[in-house]
Amino acid sequence: MPEGLSPIEAGKKAHEHTSQPPQHGPAGGERHSRIVQIGEALLLSLVTIAAAWSGYAAAKWGTESRLELAQAATQRNLATRADLAALSTRNFDSSTFTAWFTASTLDDPDKQTVAIRRFRPEFKVAFDAWMATDPFHNPKAPPGPTYMPQYRLADQANAEALDREAITAAAAGNHAGQVGDDYIRITVFLAAVLFLVGIGSTFKLPTIRYALIGVGSLLLILATVLILHQPGLPA
């Protein structure tokens, strides 16, 4: 008798044949794989460039912030020194005026002359202007030479100018620090894109990898928009 399959064996073979999934050609799978790989490579290259720029900008602005704040501290120290020098000068002017006033109350012209010779040239200008107001008979005269508009202290004006410079430098330092923090925040978004692309390579399904590439692309666009709204590198 010719050899053949029994009915049971034939049924098993038919079941195995119908239960196998239909085989697709390798061309479609390879095409999807190439598209995914190209998309991931392109996204990685763009993210790498953006992250490098953002990190560099954050470092530059951080340095700028430290320099501006250090400059502000220096200006404040100089302003304090100038203010102390102005206070010392004012005390000296007050002491020489007190000596003159004492000699004046004693009606001693020689002592008055000696006291006047101790006046600083700048104070002498204010003193002469005050004397011109006839302070001993004019009740509306200023209380003393230091109250006259002619009385000016160079150290006091210098202290005020240095204090204004310190305020400006401190504001610039705070602004630079804020910009640096913004660039660091952008770098975090870009790091999230790198994470998504990296984890996407562990999946075999192209659909999941497409979705991760899409989310990463949106984050990259957001980071790019934020970078464009930031100021450029500090001079």
Domain count, the chain: 1
DSSP secondary structure, 117-158, as one string: HTS-HHHHHHHHHHHTT-TTT-TTS-SSGGGSTT---HHHHH
Number of neighbouring beta carbons within 10 Å of residue 47: 23
Is the residue at 1 inside a domain?
no
pLDDT beyond 90 at 5: no
Helices in 106-149 by DSSP H: which ranges? Answer: 109-117, 121-131
Nearest to 229 by CA among 54, 44, 64, 45: 54
Q: What integer pLDDT is reported at residue 24 of this predicted model?
A: 45
Q: What integer pLDDT is reported at residue 35 of this predicted model?
A: 77
Nearest to 150 by CA among 165, 176, 131, 175: 131
Q: What integer pLDDT is reported at residue 21 of this predicted model?
A: 47
Selected residue with higher pLDDT from 57 and 202: 57
Q: What is the pLDDT of residues 63-108, one digit of tens each?
A: 999 999 999 999 999 999 999 999 999 999 999 999 999 999 998 8
The residue segments making up the domain with residue 155 are 39-228
Quote the crossing angle between the two packed helices 206-228 and 26-105, to the nearest 10°. 30
Is the residue at 15 inside a domain?
no
As a whole number of angstroms, the distance between CA 14 and CA 53 comes to 63
Is the residue at 209 inside a domain?
yes
Is the residue at 167 inside a domain?
yes
Q: What is the pLDDT of residues 129-170, one digit of tens each?
A: 999 999 989 999 999 999 999 999 999 999 999 999 999 999
Is the residue at 28 inside a domain?
no
Q: What integer pLDDT is reported at residue 85 of this predicted model?
A: 95
Q: Return mean pLDDT, the chain.
A: 85
pLDDT beyond 70 at 230: yes
Phi and psi (nearest 5°) for 76?
-65, -40
The residues, ordered by sequence, that sit 6+ positions from 61 with a Cβ below 8 Å of its Cβ are: 176, 177, 179, 180, 183, 233, 234
Is the residue at 30 inside a domain?
no
* Token digits of residue 167: 């305020």
Phi and psi (nearest 5°) for 151?
-80, 110
* Token digits of residue 47: 């993210």
Is the residue at 2 inside a domain?
no
Q: What integer pLDDT is reported at residue 127 of this predicted model?
A: 95
Is the residue at 72 inside a domain?
yes
pTM of the model: 0.69
